Structure 1
């Protein structure tokens, strides 16, 4: 761990402005004189704020970050299109202490060190903007809390270093704290910060405004607290099922919902089709014509959450400049735009999870599912999440039948270069580009959005006291947004648990929830031991016949897989470091 505390701070995007001393863009922070960053003459805090902004750059970004794959490609929801991609190590026991996939240990401790430097030096800056210094300190503490949360959801208890800034010649000998000690520390950081943070509906005089979008406001801190407490109450971290932990998690989520009701926050489920991804002509084959326009609007409402640069549903976004990376990495391979990679291949398991529009799963009696038209009359979130054979994209319908433009070799004939499951990812993709070239568009990754708060509450409240009316209301609000029917009444606690887990899966696909959910619920040993499936389409004339087929075998070791292995170099460099069990 030593080298990451000492030299983990690399180049930062700090530039001189407004008469402040100039900072080189590519100068490592440990080589920059702190008097330049925390300038005694900088009454506007220009360099100090840019240092803080650099810490924000360490927030989680879920777009294709694991060897150009999304994290969900290591779950039962998707596969990478190449057999050798490292993300599959999560589903075939390929990771280990010397090969830690998604190793963000160094990144997050580097961010913690940056935060400690900021908090130790910000008071030097004679900031003359009222309330800003306290707010910046509070934001920094939230960023530090996020870094610790990212660590403990992977490794369990980790070393807590407080405000310590290790020097270059210092030997690191820091033991791991317990998981609960880490949870308590993160809670204290968030609770301490909240009074100084902006609310979501304020003006530039100390309250929220458009130019603060993407920063930690009070609502974002409360949302992180909600997620932290939900994880802490879950079976992985609450083996004795202490119901008070569930009740505490429910209270944390409900506090945000109550603040919304009281208009203290402006968060809401997005109910506007702000981007017209589809029109009724595009989706003719997916829904009865009598109400096709309503169905199309519901698909567009869902997709607009992810194609609008800022909206009231996203509580904490990862901000990035406009780009086309998501499209270039995930486009179906038959499109003529350069670099189409088709990396993310949803599984049949995920596709089957999307209900018919009457609220029944395709396997239930009375669902109306037709195997000859497998995507007809399905939950609007399906065409908003998955590209399947016949779905309109850019200038034509996707062709994933054997020999089609997007599966030219066909099922089982290649190990990379085209879909392994018969599906591609649709979510996050912008559809208003040319079919032959890419254009840069906003891609703001939703770290936390309001839909999660509703489902966090529903899950925690159901576990704490059972499926009361508030649980139903929270889940039904998510479903109503896309025109899906309300849940049937009279569900047992176990039945409601299944419904909530279903709703999280279809609502948050590819948003890095499924990976952690199957771990905190301790079901990875069930869903990742066996075979994942795809679909094969055989087209003869104008008729395509569809068959579910095997796509990949999976293997998850329940004796050690629920926690990541501590990176080997951290064990070697810190003599007090203890490896996770069985690694």
Structure 2
């Protein structure tokens, strides 16, 4: 399998491209090579050109412990950092960032990737690549489409944070060029992403399960990106709920229900490929490569990083950091295995035995007191091995994050696991479809039920069926909750609650922990406050970096920043 560990550096305004590795084609030191040498007109294998392309992939979003060593979800109501001194996710959760120190700033990374793509698409046709896909598409077109997919994804990463951003087209700016560019409108940015996905979808690879090219985007990936972009565009924050109603940069200036229909159709286009399916084992999605639920991933490497970063801290055979503390709010979002919420008096939920009979995704997502791990039960009661007190970093909520880890319940030590970063998967597409269709219709129909229930069925809920006759609002609540459970810690919650324009309520809440006492007569569970979230209106959009605003007179800052 090809590994993306080559480092390239494209210098702004220079013709030369710098490399950190060497090629058999070198005639002079690689760091002095020009674009003509990188895109060599005599290199039918495209050795250097492919290395250039591979480096563009290194800028792909990297989830897991990426924000100050924490999950992004630790700045939502789903978790908090176990490190009380952490400032990164805490600043995001409390709104104490400024435009100078925003803790999820991807501006430079994404625009550097966009510039690399522009260099690539302007030069790859100089390389006489041999070979075609089985459908007859030549590799020049395939590689160019891969690069354009990455560019569209980088633009989406910017737009979901900032709304409208400057669109560069295919131009490669050099020193001396006028780079004081204004922000494009939100609509222009969404249209650009969608049009790029449409333009490249039929010239990408077609087999997403080929282990030799597992990291390369396929037609399914392009359609999934289009569906996600249109879902965001149809959502209340941009479609009728613009925080500056007359400002086309921060969203549409009027509501249109048709945007929901476009998002619905885009998700259906992925479904209609019939390539993907919900795999039966939820945990395997994240640790088994080339499974049929994955649509596009950033390739990681075999390691134990997720386990050691986030595992319970009391195991002598594994030096875990216990970095992520899921909240009681997330725990409560997981209902019972019979499909009922814990608030339903007929659900069978017991306050003095709260972890029995729960939605199976709960056990795959969260370590609770008594969960099996590394050959013994997790102990998060006060004074337990995994919550010993004192100065050691440990859970602050009575829970640890289990998702993305290998199956080490009964093993005595960790072994390497493939920790890829799954960026698009089929379950999200089904939820995107159900949400968009439900919002477009006046009441949910059989198709909305079908795909929400498919998610619940795979989860192992018995019965998985929803009550008939749900209203649009009731189904909306179900879909929102299913997204929360199904996609926990996959960096959706932070943006979902914003795009629904519910953050002023959901992210202004008091979060809770579960304090557990083991006594001679039984176990006592006590819910206690642990962190008060704070959200104000300006936090719906991330700020444009201060450095960009001060050097570009045409760069308008987002409201409130």
- Give the aligned partner of residue 145 of structure 1: 152
Provide the secondary structure at the position in 2 that maps to 1:309. Answer: coil
1:243 aligns with 2:257: yes
Match of 1:507 among 466, 474, 486: 486
1:89 Cα deviation (Å)?
A: 1.1
**Aligned counterparts, 1:246-285, within 5 A:** 246-260=260-274, 266-271=275-280
- Give the aligned partner of residue 280 of structure 1: none
1:448 aligns with 2:455: no
In 1, the alpha carbon distance for the partners of 2:54 and 2:27 equals: 18
1:173 aligns with 2:175: no
- Deviations along 1:127-159, whole A, 9 cap, x unmatched? 122311101111111110001000000001000
TM-score by length of 1: 0.87
1:170 Cα deviation (Å)?
A: 3.3
- Give the aligned partner of residue 287 of structure 1: none
Q: Is the 8 A contact 1:14 1:50 kept in 2?
A: no
1:336 Cα deviation (Å)?
A: 2.0
1:459 aligns with 2:435: yes
- Deviations along 1:64-102, whole A, 9 cap, x unmatched? 000110100010000001223211111111111111111
Give the 3 Å change call, closer, same or farther, for CA 385–4 of structure 1 in structure 2.
Answer: farther
In 2, the alpha carbon distance for the partners of 1:419 and 1:22 equals: 55
Q: Is the 8 A contact 2:308 2:321 kept in 1?
A: yes
- Deviations along 1:354-397, whole A, 9 cap, x unmatched? 11112111111211111111010000000000001000011111
Provide the secondary structure at the position in 2 that maps to 1:317. Answer: strand
Q: Is the 8 A contact 1:214 1:317 kept in 2?
A: yes
**Aligned counterparts, 1:346-365, within 5 A:** 346-365=326-345
* Residue correspondences, number: 530
Give the 3 Å change call, closer, same or farther, for CA 13–541 of structure 1 in structure 2.
Answer: farther
- Give the aligned partner of residue 66 of structure 1: 67
In 1, the alpha carbon distance for the partners of 2:458 and 2:26 equals: 49
Give the 3 Å change call, closer, same or farther, for CA 39–546 of structure 1 in structure 2.
Answer: same
Match of 2:504 among 516, 522, 525: 525
After superposing the two structures, state which structure 1 stretch, 87-96 or 141-150, moved more: 87-96
In 2, the alpha carbon distance for the partners of 1:516 and 1:161 equals: 25
Provide the secondary structure at the position in 2 that maps to 1:381. Answer: helix
- Give the aligned partner of residue 558 of structure 2: 580
Give the 3 Å change call, closer, same or farther, for CA 579–368 of structure 1 in structure 2.
Answer: same
In 1, the alpha carbon distance for the partners of 2:395 and 2:107 equals: 32
Q: Is the 8 A contact 1:270 1:302 kept in 2?
A: yes
1:440 Cα deviation (Å)?
A: 2.3
**Aligned counterparts, 1:547-558, within 5 A:** 547-558=526-537
- Give the aligned partner of residue 164 of structure 1: 171
In 1, the alpha carbon distance for the partners of 2:49 and 2:160 equals: 30
Match of 1:92 among 91, 94, 111: 94
In 2, the alpha carbon distance for the partners of 1:135 and 1:423 equals: 46
Q: Is the 8 A contact 2:17 2:34 kept in 1?
A: no
- Give the aligned partner of residue 401 of structure 1: 381
Q: Is the 8 A contact 2:373 2:410 kept in 1?
A: no
- Give the aligned partner of residue 115 of structure 2: 113
Match of 1:184 among 177, 184, 191: 191
- Give the aligned partner of residue 520 of structure 2: 541
After superposing the two structures, state which structure 1 stretch, 387-396 or 304-313, moved more: 304-313
- Give the aligned partner of residue 324 of structure 1: 304
Q: Is the 8 A contact 2:11 2:17 kept in 1?
A: no
Q: Is the 8 A contact 2:11 2:18 kept in 1?
A: no
1:542 Cα deviation (Å)?
A: 6.5
1:378 aligns with 2:363: no
In 2, the alpha carbon distance for the partners of 1:156 and 1:576 equals: 16
In 2, the alpha carbon distance for the partners of 1:64 and 1:462 equals: 33
- Give the aligned partner of residue 293 of structure 1: none
In 1, the alpha carbon distance for the partners of 2:19 and 2:164 equals: 29
Q: Is the 8 A contact 1:41 1:125 kept in 2?
A: yes
- Give the aligned partner of residue 283 of structure 1: none
Provide the secondary structure at the position in 1 that maps to 2:363. Answer: coil
**Aligned counterparts, 1:20-99, within 5 A:** 27=31, 32-85=33-86, 86-99=88-101
Q: Is the 8 A contact 1:532 1:554 kept in 2?
A: yes
In 1, the alpha carbon distance for the partners of 2:120 and 2:355 equals: 52
Q: Is the 8 A contact 1:74 1:88 kept in 2?
A: yes
Gaps of 5+ in 2: 1-9, 133-137, 241-253
1:438 Cα deviation (Å)?
A: 4.3
In 2, the alpha carbon distance for the partners of 1:436 and 1:270 equals: 27
In 2, the alpha carbon distance for the partners of 1:87 and 1:444 equals: 22
Match of 2:457 among 471, 475, 480: 480
Provide the secondary structure at the position in 2 that maps to 1:91. Answer: helix
In 2, the alpha carbon distance for the partners of 1:142 and 1:332 equals: 38
In 1, the alpha carbon distance for the partners of 2:76 and 2:469 equals: 32
- CA RMSD, Structure 1 to Structure 2 (Å): 2.1
- Give the aligned partner of residue 420 of structure 1: 396
1:11 Cα deviation (Å)?
A: 6.6
In 1, the alpha carbon distance for the partners of 2:176 and 2:375 equals: 60
1:21 Cα deviation (Å)?
A: 5.7
1:104 aligns with 2:106: yes
Q: Is the 8 A contact 1:394 1:431 kept in 2?
A: no
Provide the secondary structure at the position in 2 that maps to 1:384. Answer: helix
Q: Is the 8 A contact 2:373 2:409 kept in 1?
A: no
Give the 3 Å change call, closer, same or farther, for CA 546–196 of structure 1 in structure 2.
Answer: same
Give the 3 Å change call, closer, same or farther, for CA 453–61 of structure 1 in structure 2.
Answer: same
Provide the secondary structure at the position in 1 that maps to 2:345. Answer: coil
Q: Is the 8 A contact 1:349 1:532 kept in 2?
A: yes
- Deviations along 1:403-435, whole A, 9 cap, x unmatched? 0011101xxx76x71111111000011134997
In 2, the alpha carbon distance for the partners of 1:575 and 1:187 equals: 29
Q: Is the 8 A contact 1:455 1:504 kept in 2?
A: yes
Provide the secondary structure at the position in 2 that maps to 1:60. Answer: coil
Q: Is the 8 A contact 1:335 1:435 kept in 2?
A: no
Provide the secondary structure at the position in 2 that maps to 1:68. Answer: coil
Gaps of 5+ in 1: 202-207, 261-265, 272-300
